[in-house]
Structure 1
Amino acid sequence: MNTTALRLAAATLAALALAGAAACSDPSDEDLDLPTNDDIAALFTEWNDALATGNPETVAALYAPDAVLIPTVSNVVRTDHAGIVDYFTGFLPSRPSAVIEQSTINVLDADNAIDTGTYRFTLHQAQGPETVDARFTFVYQRRDDQWLIVNHHSSEMPEP
């Protein structure tokens, strides 16, 4: 198994472990400062607004240094800051914007949350606007009081 596949598997297992730990935690141990679903939903809005800047560094700054990005319109898994910047350098010229169609937010604990669902991208191509329907998973982690994306998987819907 190559290094990228191992990192992806590790990130996925970590997200699943966090979900399992949250499900088994004692409610008396829960932090009173849990983020709300609206707090987590706002992280998507921040990401979408960053896309609108057209600046790959602005978007990449929302990802943790060790984040994993499995992007919608690339076959290459990105596992570091430079790779994430590279992806958005190629993606942002189409002036993408996304609208969430369906979302399920799971707040795991005070510092971890997952937002999973579907969204519709509008891409502005030379021949006119194009829409792409995709599934997404954002795994967020609060680090040093800042919410960062630690895992982002987006894939085009397989059925029309």
Structure 2
Amino acid sequence: MNQKSKAALKPSRSVHLIDIENICGASNPTTEQVVQARESYLSLVKPGSLDQFFIRVSSRSNLAAASFGWPNARVQCKEGHDGADILIARDLLDNKFEQTFKTIYLASGDGGLAPFAKHVVSRGGTVAVISLPQALSMQMRFTGAKVLYLNAGNGLVP
């Protein structure tokens, strides 16, 4: 896709980078937990029809739950501690999403991702952090990104 086409699409679409274990509040979420997190997330964010979803997991044992619980998303795994965070950090650094997407939704409260969110903001990107209240790190609060909270009980936190 050429730059002109990308620029024309930018106002109407967003990208969603989701650490599914983080927003489920579980290291090994079930399909039901992923579905519940997805419903809460979609109610909060209200994505457009052209939005793209990237689900990241840190264990192969979570691939099925992520894939079945969040259909039509691109699911990727990097085994190990902070595997999902590493994939999201690479996404933020390598893809220059701020050039092709109106908003970059970062569904993780992990402090290790804060410098990468700040980096995107410094390049002119609009970042919105989606997190469970108890999972939002202090570092992520000061990235310059808008923060929206999910409720673990499938309701929205005001």
Q: Do the two structures share a fold, i.e. TM-score over 0.5?
A: no
Tell which has more relative contact order, 1 or 2 (C-alpha 8 A, sep 6+). Answer: 2
Considering fraction of residues, name the structure with more helix.
2
Bucket of the pairwise TM-score, normalised by the shorter protein = under 0.3
User: Which structure has the bigger radius of gyration?
Assistant: 1
